[in-house]
Structure 1
């Protein structure tokens, strides 16, 4: 029942933050204890000759544990003048006890409290996601003060402070590099798969606005410096950094109510008061028709119980729990009923590139010796030189040459020198080897012909990063690396298209040409490149126009705001950052993108079963309320129909445990 979900989400803040004797899970444990006492009471009354007070004691205990949090919420809401489902459940349970139907009242409270507790169990996402974002930023910075240095808290940094960033450490502020050069892994902010070379801005340069400074000179808070020491001039205060903006974005969208919550609020506003008015009126029926006061009360309480049947309380939670359990067996974590429901209505999915559609690490894609150079000798030379470098691209090239071609490193290289923004040079077998870009070849007086330029352009069009290899004064070949698509990416996208996903778009911090190339290879409908986190949010908002439901699939911190604002945020688990997992509604725990079609199919099936369950349970209400009003059904018949309908909806929901996507 959506009402239960809405109520739990809206009211959780009223009491849930206080915890309890079992900590955050107290409410869930209370529901389980309530169930234990209910079943114990049932066994004692039906299967043992023990006196009646023993089973009554168990039912009273079930009432206490099952009704505790429900009563707290009912009190809080009633004080505000809001009569909601909690109030109705408490009233129904009291009514059941009054007419000596303790077992039915205990069952009502047990089932309702269990559904409630399981909904609450998935909460606190907003605070966790914000905490995880905040933890990305370093807590201190090393600031240059004249000829000395001092460690200061990042909150105390001022504009124009000079911070020193040591090798392999996090950068403490958004700013511009003024001394040194290094490669910086900024995947946590932009999603770029390959570390970016950063160089110092020219001395005495008049700085434009932060957004207009060349990206090769700018660094961000929380990104990871490479192997060299750099000095950075602080251009943004701690509260204005990119990371802080991400925190603000996530916290803003987390507080917005879903359309489902708003719809269920409307339902509650008329349903609960209508039932209360009807029950109060029926309590005084003896003033109008010829019957005793007790008979009027009996009828009124019967109607109250008929208006709050177990089937209605359990119809949605049972389906949601079955679907979530089925998803968990397949390595997919779904955080609650709303996410499960929304998945099934998706027609548009936006994907991050790095680590989501691609493997998230550069792979050696092309080896092209030229000028008659032997391929094995060429590979040996490249491996020998690159294995001396710590650059991530060099490590990827060395690893792939060794694993895929079985070439062993013979350690013939020496005197390696990294030339920032151009490449590396080294001595090899008495000669000079150069591996880098066209600029490096020019410096080494190596001619790069028009045919090679054409070949490089072709590789660049397909998203490759290309490096030329020269030996002494001759160009001997080229190699390329790229972040390659996941093996099952194209197959997964084809399957998504088959099950009705109309639009699949890539949102990436990488260059547009890289995005276009990957999109073409795997069958996406569109790709947007060069995006920062706020650009991804704008792209999602654009897709959401005309009330379109959009999922965002990602694995990095840079995806968190877009995932938070999307209808459903889906995180790639194993490779995912903590914040992406916290912000996401769905996490593919085994990092398998091929789980997406399954989970969307599961959601659609669960939506269908929830609808069936609601029709069954509401049908029972529609049947029983008039039947009890006109005396066609007494409390015993009402309870029998309740239990029968509860069994039907639970069995219907359990079908989800066997769900599998048809080919």
Structure 2
């Protein structure tokens, strides 16, 4: 497997060694990730202040852009020597053609890594000092590809001089010693370039299909004429030669392109077999071979386009224009002209053109195209239309809208918060396209297998050509058998079996509001047996709720609540705010509740364990049991103490209330489980997840209470962030493959060490989009069973396709060697199996979300 080494100058204040806290955070977030083998600090040359953080990684699994994004997340400033771009191109005919283009691009000086998908997406990592972006565009166009649109790079941050990198360890294929610089990615929607279609010809982009039909027609006419008496054989031969031309044109074209980059692909093998059939006078059989092979190619290309269009449809979600409000007038402008702070008007039942906040109007918005939410979300204006929000997380969900979502029956005015190139939709499209180039473990296996298999087949064919020397048969029969084996052994179905399933799975997930970053997480998610969850904000609401109001003595529940709210509304503590919010709700409307609450004064903190305030000439104390043990005065009654302890055993945080020397009750708060949590965990059990573990910094009693309520198998409490990482490592030893579900920010180190890191609510977090292996766009647990179910189905289809393609090859090779199958039969079965695996993969596009 190809490996690279990069050395990043980590520009952080006073970073002197590997033990620096910031460097340790960066190492924590990357160490243990699939594809990263080693991270360490290199010795810097004399006079160089920056520390060189060295990564040894496998670009097929984790691209340098992910490394850079994670480095930026912890505050590292990176230099801009290296570029990373994702391009959509036209002209990639199939997966084998993609591999040829990939090889050609990797030969280009300055290209560190190239990955090309059969769906027409190219990912390049390159050294800006050795090759320019324009030179890369030219190299792509030299492969007869047209650049449709792409992700281009902007240098970010401050320029820094590159230092000579010290020599390092060797790698199996190639090794690069580089300093990299942070970069931003800009998606240019609809960036068009003049080009010729690779499928072009006299009939335009449908030339290949028309050539196939002409080949079939000439083959049929030629074969039919052989049954008519009096028709000379040269007329049939002329038809077969015509069939050879139309059926072999694109086959020969691809064979020449493959040989030019020193690859011997199936097209070359098929061409040799057809020429061999002609040499033996079997013109009809050779024409049939070319017809079926070309037809298979055309149908394969059609099927792959279907999956590709499913992804391309994401880019079409946002409208091309927006109604910009200027001085009370509406102007229709391109979305590329919108700037942060502009106000746009969105009419009823139209698509929203930009990410932003609602400043006027109310409506329900269908966010399913972005987040997968099935129910429209009500939107209303922000309180301060002039406010500027630097982060989406600062804006409540009812005020924020996404580009590509669909407005309901109301008209909205929206203040733009992100340019078109930085919108959530644009980032989603970029990441989905990039995911197509990340190879799965099965695809890496098939690639390695083919590198050994194809040369072995060529050796076998050469040996079979000389079978007549040791076996009593004419040379023509040995030659025919060798050509039949060439056809039978061509790994066409094997090459397309996994990429087609990965493409379809990623496309279907994106439509359902789940971003899966490539084949590896798609496959790994399908074999999980254990999932670890962060508690706060993942399994629970993330905000405390008032759960119990327990009066003590003669006081009523309403009076206890009135006194408590009166004191707590003087405090800005999160628990106090929760008491006030939920207490006023219990009185009815907040305004009427406020009228029922008396005015307290003179708030003071007491011993760090509670508060006190004056209310109607009495002193009210509110705090935990430890407060009253140290406060003195009237002792805490045993039965009230028992009630508080029982509530704490149930996972509540309790507050005891005393008025002067009289205890009047206890209230309890709890970060309550999400309403959908229990049903979601039940679905996960049915999908075969044996262990579901909650990792929380809360005390063990709270963890146990939440676990009992929603049906978790384990709850591990009192965990610091570094202890969560240790817990994930322990789980991986017990269960082999473990997913970690969190918000993608605070849980990043634990997610990095899990087999698959899953971030919730990623549509509201750029960090989660960049760092997670799988991102649930909506803050909705119910998308998790869908993602796992889809991955299970994808894994099954990948295995089916793999065994089918290997099985057909294993059957056909001996069948052709021993003469049980002719060239015609071999190519029929061969091309049939290719189409079966492709259409089997396309079933994923119809996977239903329950």
In which range does the TM-score fall when normalised by the shorter chain? Answer: 0.5 to 0.7
Partner of 1:239: none
**Alpha-carbon deviations, 1:265-308, whole Å to 9, x = none?**
76456434422422454566788788789x98887666445433
How many angstroms does 1:483 deviate by? 1.2
Partner of 2:748: 560
How many angstroms does 1:323 deviate by? 3.1
Partner of 1:388: 570
With 263-272 and 467-476 compared, the bigger mean Cα shift is at 263-272
Task: State yes or no: 1:435 paired with 2:609.
Answer: no
Partner of 1:421: 608
The whole-number CA distance in structure 2 between the counterparts of 1:575 and 1:451 is 49
With 454-463 and 640-649 compared, the bigger mean Cα shift is at 640-649
Partner of 1:184: none
Partner of 1:17: 125
Q: 1:547 to 1:367 in 2, by over 3 A?
A: closer
Partner of 2:839: 651
Partner of 1:41: 207
Give secondary structure in 2 for the equivalent of 1:530.
coil
Q: 1:25 to 1:458 in 2, by over 3 A?
A: same
How many angstroms does 1:477 deviate by? 2.1
Match of 2:702 among 510, 514, 520: 514
**Alpha-carbon deviations, 1:412-455, whole Å to 9, x = none?**
23343445732333333444333323454554846422222222
Q: 1:268 to 1:649 in 2, by over 3 A?
A: closer
Partner of 2:656: 468
Partner of 1:373: 555
Q: 1:627 to 1:517 in 2, by over 3 A?
A: same
How many angstroms does 1:654 deviate by? 2.8
Task: State yes or no: 1:504 paired with 2:692.
Answer: yes
Give secondary structure in 2 for the equivalent of 1:544.
helix
Q: 1:434 to 1:577 in 2, by over 3 A?
A: farther
Task: State yes or no: 1:341 paired with 2:523.
Answer: yes
TM-score (norm 1): 0.63
Task: State yes or no: 1:308 paired with 2:490.
Answer: yes
Q: Aligned runs of 1:245-284 on 2, under 5 Å? A: 267-268=449-450, 270-281=452-463
How many angstroms does 1:617 deviate by? 2.1
Partner of 2:679: 491
The whole-number CA distance in structure 2 between the counterparts of 1:336 and 1:658 is 19
Q: 1:57 to 1:536 in 2, by over 3 A?
A: same
Give the conservation status (yes or no) of the 8 Å contact 1:311–1:646: yes
With 33-42 and 602-611 compared, the bigger mean Cα shift is at 33-42
How many angstroms does 1:540 deviate by? 2.3
Give the conservation status (yes or no) of the 8 Å contact 2:801–2:837: yes
Q: CA RMSD in A?
A: 4.8
Partner of 1:152: none
The whole-number CA distance in structure 1 between the counterparts of 2:767 and 2:720 is 17
Give the conservation status (yes or no) of the 8 Å contact 1:309–1:621: yes
Q: 1:501 to 1:414 in 2, by over 3 A?
A: same
Q: 1:537 to 1:389 in 2, by over 3 A?
A: same
Give the conservation status (yes or no) of the 8 Å contact 2:296–2:831: no
Give secondary structure in 2 for the equivalent of 1:320.
helix
The whole-number CA distance in structure 1 between the counterparts of 2:192 and 2:815 is 37
Q: 1:332 to 1:62 in 2, by over 3 A?
A: farther
How many angstroms does 1:480 deviate by? 1.6
How many angstroms does 1:506 deviate by? 1.7
Give secondary structure in 2 for the equivalent of 1:481.
strand
Task: State yes or no: 1:538 paired with 2:538.
Answer: no
Partner of 1:548: 736
Q: Aligned runs of 1:177-192 on 2, under 5 Å? A: none
Task: State yes or no: 1:358 paired with 2:540.
Answer: yes
The whole-number CA distance in structure 2 between the counterparts of 1:446 and 1:570 is 51
The whole-number CA distance in structure 1 between the counterparts of 2:450 and 2:302 is 18
The whole-number CA distance in structure 2 between the counterparts of 1:479 and 1:543 is 37
Higher relative contact order (CA 8 A, sep 6+): 1
Give the conservation status (yes or no) of the 8 Å contact 2:440–2:519: no
The whole-number CA distance in structure 2 between the counterparts of 1:564 and 1:32 is 43
How many angstroms does 1:485 deviate by? 1.3
Q: 1:409 to 1:594 in 2, by over 3 A?
A: same
Give secondary structure in 2 for the equivalent of 1:340.
helix
Give secondary structure in 1 for the equivalent of 2:719.
coil
Q: 1:360 to 1:458 in 2, by over 3 A?
A: same
Partner of 2:279: none
**Alpha-carbon deviations, 1:151-184, whole Å to 9, x = none?**
xxxxxxxxxxxxxxxxxxxxxxxxxxxxxxxxxx
The whole-number CA distance in structure 1 between the counterparts of 2:785 and 2:666 is 40
**Alpha-carbon deviations, 1:644-663, whole Å to 9, x = none?**
2233223322333333478x
Give the conservation status (yes or no) of the 8 Å contact 1:350–1:552: yes
Give secondary structure in 1 for the equivalent of 2:621.
strand
With 626-635 and 352-361 compared, the bigger mean Cα shift is at 626-635
Give the conservation status (yes or no) of the 8 Å contact 1:537–1:562: yes
Give secondary structure in 2 for the equivalent of 1:364.
strand
TM-score (norm 2): 0.50
How many angstroms does 1:113 deviate by? 14
Task: State yes or no: 1:625 paired with 2:813.
Answer: yes
How many angstroms does 1:563 deviate by? 2.2
The whole-number CA distance in structure 2 between the counterparts of 1:35 and 1:603 is 33
**Alpha-carbon deviations, 1:27-53, whole Å to 9, x = none?**
x9999965788962224425689x999
The whole-number CA distance in structure 2 between the counterparts of 1:390 and 1:36 is 69
How many angstroms does 1:17 deviate by? 0.5
How many angstroms does 1:468 deviate by? 2.0
Q: 1:445 to 1:102 in 2, by over 3 A?
A: farther
Q: Aligned runs of 1:182-331 on 2, under 5 Å? A: 267-268=449-450, 270-281=452-463, 303-331=485-513
Q: 1:574 to 1:581 in 2, by over 3 A?
A: closer
Give the conservation status (yes or no) of the 8 Å contact 2:197–2:205: no
Partner of 1:133: none
Q: Which runs of 5+ in 1 are unaligned?
A: 76-85, 123-223, 225-256
How many angstroms does 1:71 deviate by? 8.6
Give the conservation status (yes or no) of the 8 Å contact 2:652–2:702: yes
The whole-number CA distance in structure 1 between the counterparts of 2:550 and 2:717 is 28
Partner of 2:643: 455
The whole-number CA distance in structure 2 between the counterparts of 1:533 and 1:113 is 49
Match of 1:613 among 793, 801, 804: 801
The whole-number CA distance in structure 1 between the counterparts of 2:678 and 2:270 is 55
The whole-number CA distance in structure 1 between the counterparts of 2:747 and 2:846 is 33
The whole-number CA distance in structure 2 between the counterparts of 1:307 and 1:526 is 51
The whole-number CA distance in structure 2 between the counterparts of 1:367 and 1:62 is 80
Q: Which one has a larger percent helix, Structure 1 or Structure 2?
A: 1
Q: 1:63 to 1:566 in 2, by over 3 A?
A: same
Give the conservation status (yes or no) of the 8 Å contact 2:296–2:835: no
Give the conservation status (yes or no) of the 8 Å contact 2:551–2:557: yes
Q: 1:258 to 1:623 in 2, by over 3 A?
A: closer
The whole-number CA distance in structure 2 between the counterparts of 1:473 and 1:444 is 10
Give the conservation status (yes or no) of the 8 Å contact 2:743–2:759: yes
Q: 1:478 to 1:540 in 2, by over 3 A?
A: same
Q: 1:36 to 1:578 in 2, by over 3 A?
A: farther
Q: Which runs of 5+ in 2 are unaligned?
A: 1-34, 36-57, 63-101, 107-111, 115-123, 127-132, 138-146, 153-190, 218-241, 277-286, 312-392, 394-438
Give secondary structure in 2 for the equivalent of 1:345.
coil
Give the conservation status (yes or no) of the 8 Å contact 1:380–1:409: no
**Alpha-carbon deviations, 1:216-262, whole Å to 9, x = none?**
xxxxxxxx9xxxxxxxxxxxxxxxxxxxxxxxxxxxxxxxx997588
